Amino acid sequence: MNAVNPPLTIRMRDEDNVAIVANDGGLPAGTVLPAGVPGAGLVLRDKVPQGHKVALTDFAEGDVVLRYGVPIGYALKAIPAGSWVHERLLQMPSARALEGLPLATVTPPVHAPLDGYTFEGYRNADGSVGTRNILAITTTVQCVAGVVAQAVARIKAELLPLYPNVDDVIGLEHSYGCGVAIDAPDAIIPIRTLKNISLNPNFGGEVMVVSLGCEKLQPARLLPPGSFPITDERGADAGPETVCLQDDAHVGFMSMLDDILQTAKPHLERLNARRRETVPASELIVGVQCGGSDAFSGVTANPAVGFCADLLVRAGATVMFSENTEVRDAVEQLTSRAANAEVAEAIIRELGWYDRYLDRGRVDRAANTTPGNKAGGLSNIAEKAMGSIIKSGSSAISHVLSPGEKLRRDQRGLVYAATPASDFICGTLQLAAGMNLHIFTTGRGTPYGLAECPVVKVATRSDLARRWHDLMDINAGRIADGEATIEETGWAMFQFLLDVASGRKKTWAEHWKLHNALVLFNPAPVT
């Protein structure tokens, strides 16, 4: 037993009949839970790993196990008090039917608006604001990826030094564009995702495209006239400025690279002329996500993110939460928190579509949990979901986006952007929605990062924050350690977001240039 850290258990709600063990390394069998913690006086019958659940009562076979005040499973056999309640002892509850759900029945707490918070951002022609000033080269098809990568390397070496106000140049590489059933109804999802990513606020409206020529996803199909503001002298109905590799004018590889560099120059010039200006915090569009979750995610990091999400909404900003399979078990909480019946019905529509999508693949939401989740104490998706949705805070849900859709300027507040929970796919779709800042919580640890937008990573446990000291930006594990409150951590996160948005601070993922690929969600057939 560690004398410095007495045994500590954490229970989320008074009605819960399990608590999780907070101590680094877990607690050995025979440990007596001390006075003042949930389960005081109980003797542990098993070794209970950190983050895992201990039975606070005797369970008979079939008894409900409550965490977050909701059923996360049913005992498959008798479980005496003091036992380790691991996933093999639990039958997962079935998913709530999507019929008869409460629609906009809860009136969320009304918080006073937060006025006066600002950041330094790049104001775009369409009114949106970038937190970074990046030239993004859109691609129509994977075939051009190698050429674009070499062009980007040359632009960084030869041109970026001439344009010091431009933060970066990136190729929007992806696996779509050809070999796909482009007229399938669901093809709209990857196509609009690509289009909307190229219009992300961090790219300043400077759209340029590299195309192969023969691909199914032609530039005019990706970016029809009128779908974006033309920033150069070409007319309003001009299509995207495109370098087509199969163009007869290209003789040899170098001519393609030279063409891309020449095309990039005026875009870089215009981006370079921009300066940060003071803008209200309401221009932040923050995507929240979790990955590599553990049982602490719902105790420390996600509640702190939820508190911060409420602060952002009070400041007039937009917060997007996502991850269909990780909210499915909490659907009732979401539909009741919707601002109105239409929003609630949109949530049901999106989650119903996703149920059917999973069903086509003969799986369900339970396919979400990973070996790491389970090793971290999360028994099943029902338990994971309850910890996951806490990221959304307590505001009313004001809008719903389908996968790949872009937020309109008048869509503010708390938004449910329906996406798969896959970290890279969710991040890609949140970029398409217009995200200019990303918060990512992790318990197991992931080096996730994006080239397109700063990613603020939040550790759920101090042990992870210590070991990954140069990868985690915020340590929410201090909440479990009793060193900081959820509110203090949420406020610190809010201030850190304003600093990162302003370019005053960089995230670790930016520092190390950790960039995950864009991964499109393509539910349509390939050919």
Question: Minimum distance between the CB of residue 387 and Ca ion, rounded to whole angstroms?
Answer: 12
- The set of residues, in sequence order, having a beta carbon less than 8 Å from that of 412 and lying 6+ positions away, is 282, 316, 317, 318, 398
Q: 38, 73, 291, 387: which one contacts Ca ion (CB under 5 A)?
A: 291
Least distance CB 322 / Ca ion (angstroms): 8
Q: How many residues bind Ca ion, per CB under 5 A? A: 4
What does the block give as tokens for 64? 């409900």
Rounded CA separation 157/151 (Å): 10
Token pair for 54? 């201990």
Question: Cβ of residue 473: shortest distance to Ca ion, in angstroms?
Answer: 17
The distance of closest approach from Cβ of residue 428 to Ca ion in the complex, given in angstroms and rounded to an integer, is 12
Alpha-carbon span 221 to 204, nearest angstrom: 21
Among 160, 331, 400, 421, binds Ca ion (CB under 5 A): 421
Shorter beta-carbon distance to Ca ion: residue 241 or 323: 323
Comparison of 17 and 302: residue with beta carbon closer to Ca ion = 302
Neighbours of 278 (CB within 10 A): 10
Find tokens 């610190």 and name the residue. 492
Least distance from Ca ion to the Cβ atom of residue 243, Å: 35
Q: Residue 55, interface with Ca ion (CB under 5 A)?
A: no
Non-local CB neighbours of 135 within 8 Å, separated by 6+ positions: 155, 166, 168, 169, 170, 203, 204, 206, 208, 264, 267, 268, 271
* Residue placing its CB nearer to Ca ion in the complex, 423 or 463: 423
Least distance (Å) between residue 388 CB and Ca ion: 8
Which residue, 181, 159, 20, 16, is CA-closest to 85?
20
- In terms of CB distance, is 197 or 425 closer to Ca ion? 425
Does residue 387 bind Ca ion (CB under 5 A)?
A: no
- 128/388 with CB nearer Ca ion: 388
Q: Which residue's CB is nearer to Ca ion, number 289 or number 392?
A: 289
Piece of 53-61, 187-195, 423-431, 477-485 that binds Ca ion (CB under 5 A) = 423-431
The smaller minimum CB distance to Ca ion, of residues 83 and 446, is found at 446
The CB-of-419 to Ca ion minimum distance in angstroms stands at 9
How far, in Å, CA of 49 to CA of 399, rounded?
Answer: 40
* 83 exposure class (CB count in 10 Å sphere: 0-12, 13-18, 19+): buried
Taking the least distance from each CB to Ca ion, the nearer of 223 and 415 is 415
Using CB under 5 A as the binding rule, whether residue 423 contacts Ca ion is answered as yes
* 8 A C-beta contact, residue 244 and residue 174: no
Positions of E strands within 270-411: 277-280, 285-290, 318-321, 397-401
Binding piece for Ca ion, criterion CB under 5 A, among 49-57, 81-89, 417-425, 512-520? 417-425
Binding site for Ca ion (CB under 5 A): 289, 291, 421, 423
